Amino acid sequence: MAKVKMKTNRTAAKRLKITAKGKVKYTKGGVSHYNTKKSSKRKRQGRRPQYAPKCIEHKLKALLPNE
């Protein structure tokens, strides 16, 4: 019997990217509206890509087996 293929979690694939060194990169949410009350520092840091912590990296990579 053939082995069942692993499916990529499409929700995760749209939000996460695995870098060349194997880190999980994502864009921080909550920066697109209600910006008047947020500080400049908070808005500026929201534009930068974030990296997932090492402790949950393996869980996120399991959602993206073919990426």
pLDDT at 14: 95
CA distance 67 to 11: 13
Residue 1 lies in a domain: no
Residue 17 lies in a domain: yes
Percent residues over pLDDT 70 in the chain: 100
Residue 3 lies in a domain: no
Q: Give the phi and the psi of residue 33 in degrees, each rounded to 5.
A: -145, 175
Query: End-to-end distance of the chain based on CA atoms, in angstroms?
Result: 25
Looking at residue 49, which CATH number applies to its domain?
Answer: 4.10.410.60
The answer to whether residue 64 scores a pLDDT higher than 80 is: yes
* Tens digit of each residue's pLDDT (9 = 90 or more) over 27-54: 999 999 999 999 999 999 999 999 999 9
Residues in CB range of 45: below 8 A, 6 or more apart: 28
Looking at the structure of the chain, the number of domains it has is: 1
pTM summary value:
0.79
User: What domain range is 30 assigned to?
Assistant: 10-63
Residues in CB range of 16: below 8 A, 6 or more apart: 24, 25, 26, 52, 60, 63, 64
